[in-house]
Chains A and B, each alone.
Chain A
Amino acid sequence: MSADHKPASPRRPVLRPVVDSVTTIASDGSRRDLHPADVHGRFTTARRWSGWALIAFYLVLPWIPVNGHPAVFLDIAERRFHFFGYTLAAQDTWLLFFGVSGLGFALFFLTALFGRLWCGWACPQTVYLEHVYRVIERWIDGDATERRALSAAPLTAAKAVKRVAKHGLYVLASLLITHLFLSYFVSLPEVWHMMRSAPGEHWAAFVFVFGAAGVLYFNFAWFREQLCIVICPYGRLQSALTDDHSLSIGYDARRGEPRGKLGTPDAGACVDCNRCVQVCPTGIDIRHGLQLECIGCAACIDACDEVMAKVKRPAGLIRYDSFAGLGGGLTRWVRPRTILYGVLLGVGISVAAFAFTTVKPANFLVFRTGGASYFVGPDDVRNQFMVRLVNKRTVPATFIVSSEGLPDGLHQSGFETPVTLAPMAESVSPLVLVARRRDYHGPFKFTVRVRDDAQTFTLAREVEFMGPDARLLEDDEHGKQEKKHKEEHDPKG
């Protein structure tokens, strides 16, 4: 089969991945470094631009103010979360459920349709590795052949300079990423302020930024594809989410096999040039079919198309296609799985949209004051509540608190005038309800309502006015009158 294959030169050993083991782990457990070859083509170009756009998006967001706050600002200190001018408070954390589950359903749906599109095109691991760190490496160390030679070469002054330059740039890039990351939580001016003061004044932030930069440096300088192959859970979930009609990157064995060098009689389209293996960032041979290691980066598609163009054969020997498509059949886009995931996503989006639009710019709580649940005075029955108001907005707000559904004759004190709260402030004030005995007919429920003075929203809570059974009070009343009557007629007692 490969009898005519020339022995590999020591400078360029031919990588022949097998499906039985992971290419990047040698049989003694040591790491085998990959030096993926340069590749050019439409997918590579598109990925580079989309990757840089994503990085720019990440770098720029904290710099753009919307409504006086950075576009995305997860303000830990104030517990306020700003998203493009939309502010959420700590009390709205329950919405996170929809954020996380929405992301999950969207990923389910996209995975069932398009396979590992996320991994190859949008995952930060791939985006930063391919479009920042490998770019630095390519610039300092040269192409795959030069990199392989350099790593095999003994340490000379020239090599040391290159290593220091490369790893120095890695560290710089990692620090830049983590400083920007911190700014999402404390804002840029605060990051800048911390950067100019001693680490001792903000140990937690300092350790976080440098620790995280260390993790990023280790990950992107050395760990790389091991994260995708060994650690990432999404890669493992794939097989449960995809089927024969999900898009993946595949090799058209019907067209390609039997592979053979140009001129081999009865050979298929594959010329066995091994380019698809050389460019693979996870070190697999896509011709073995879909494998766990494949992150769907499409480098092998571009590599193969380039070769096919050179040998004047149609492109697409390796392409985005489903198993069904590669087997000569038709890809079915509408199938029970995609319908189910689509419906789940649709339901999730609808509920999330409803939840997000019902978020109120204030929060309030009514609770009973400590002590007894109710107080029975000589003439009345009394309930005492505390009302906690939270202004979630970043501007002062005036709130009107009222009770509704109170029976006649009930006296309310507290909240006679509107309450004005500073931005993001909260207050706790009493609300006292007094029912005269003759108006009291047992416990009842009523509603406490909060409106803002501009009437843009209302919040309501049902509260119970508690008290004894009304008949007990009547008996008590009779008893008192009898006693009084007795005293009047028998002054000596």
Chain B
Amino acid sequence: MSSTPQPPEDPGIKLRDHVYDGIQEYDQRLPNWWLYTLYGAIVFWVVYWFAYMIAGIMPTDGSRVDTAMAGINAAKMASSIDVTNDDKFWEMSANAVFTDAGKQTFTSLCTPCHLPSMRGKSENPAAVGPDLTDTAWIHGGTPKELYATVAKGVLAKGMPAWEPVLGQKKTAEVVAYILSHHQKGETITVEVPK
């Protein structure tokens, strides 16, 4: 080792013994505040571990998700309607609040296929969707069947499932609007799809 490192200016500063390539290492203390962040982290770990793993005081992520989902489902249930109740749909179809809201949704989403008149192929054979004003149905003509068709769609034919997009309320409003073009108790026929 040809070169010896310079001694430090301050005699109070310690150097470690080893020398490599003329480089020596200081042996100084970390700032205390820095050490406290380490000790703090250790204390935090113990508290955290105890609270989550031992005592179970703090809810785990999984249980928090479950709680939140339960809350969402409860809110959904509270505002949901019985979509298998035909009479309920007929009642809604006579109420302008529902049919007006349903018409708005129908106009923005359904008219490209079923036309604004709702008459689809009956009005224009080139239209995509079938007539919704006549009494001949393809996928069932009772209100609850209508709801199921709009909600779940007929994917093979291109009718999208609307419930995931619109939610139950808006979907039911659309069904109410369609029913407002029909009479309760009218004779319906169900065609076997070609």
Contact = CB atoms under 8 A, between A and B. Distances in A.
Kindly name the residue among B109, B112, B194 whose own CB sees the greatest number of chain A CB atoms within 10 A.
Answer: B112
Which bucket holds chain B's interface residue count?
20 to 34
A430 B29 contact: no
Contact of A411 (B29, B108, B126, B165): B126
A18 B9 CA distance: 6
A430 B32 contact: no
B1 interface: no
B108 A370 contact: no
Given A18-B13, A27-B28, A31-B33, A429 B161 contact: no
Nearest to B155: A371
A21 B10 contact: yes
Kindly name the residue among B34, B111, B128, B155 whose own CB sees the greatest number of chain A CB atoms within 10 A.
Answer: B128
Nearest to A375: B158
A436 B10 CA distance: 93
Given A31-B32, A369-B160, A432-B112, A20 B26 contact: yes
Interface in A7-32: 18-22, 25, 27-31
Given A18-B9, A21-B13, A384 B29 contact: no
Nearest to A371: B155
Interface string A347-386: 0000000000000000000000111100100101010100
A414 B112 contact: yes
Interface in B117-158: 126-128, 153, 155-158
Contact of A371 (B32, B128, B156, B165): B156
Contacts of A432: 112-113, 128
A22 B26 CA distance: 12
A432 B161 CA distance: 16
A375 B10 CA distance: 86
B43 interface: no
A27 B14 CA distance: 9
Contacts of B12: 27
A366 to B, nearest CB: 14
A190 B13 CA distance: 55
Given A18-B8, A371-B158, A414-B112, A434 B31 contact: no
Nearest to A16: B10
Interface residues of A, number: 34
A230 B157 contact: no
Interface string B6-43: 00111011000000000000101111111100000000
Contacts of B161: 370
A20 B8 contact: yes
Contacts of B26: 20-21
A413 B160 contact: no
Contact of A230 (B31, B35, B111): B31
Given A29-B35, A372-B158, A434 B128 contact: yes
A380 B161 CA distance: 22
Contacts of B158: 369, 371-372, 375, 382, 384
Nearest to B159: A371
A427 interface: yes
A383 B30 CA distance: 69
A125 interface: no
A428 interface: yes
A431 interface: yes
B109 A430 contact: yes
B187 to A, nearest CB: 27
A274 interface: no
A427 B128 contact: no
Contacts of A29: 29-32, 35
A324 to B, nearest CB: 25
A44 interface: no
Contact of B156 (A30, A369, A372): A372
A30 B8 contact: no
Interface in A108-148: none
A21 B30 CA distance: 11
Contact of B160 (A21, A230, A370): A370
Given A29-B35, A384-B158, A18 B112 contact: no
A290 to B, nearest CB: 17
Q: 3 tightest A-B contacts by CB?
A: A371-B155, A414-B112, A29-B29
16 contacts: A19-B9, A20-B10, A22-B31, A27-B28, A29-B35, A31-B33, A226-B33, A370-B155, A370-B160, A371-B155, A414-B111, A427-B108, A429-B109, A430-B109, A432-B128, A434-B128
Interface of A: 18-22, 25, 27-31, 223, 226, 230, 369-372, 375, 378, 380, 382, 384, 411, 413-414, 427-432, 434, 436
Interface of B: 8-10, 12-13, 26, 28-35, 108-109, 111-113, 126-128, 153, 155-161, 165, 194
Given A25-B29, A370-B160, A430-B109, 12 more contacts: A21-B13, A29-B35, A223-B33, A370-B153, A371-B160, A380-B126, A382-B158, A384-B160, A413-B112, A413-B127, A414-B111, A430-B160
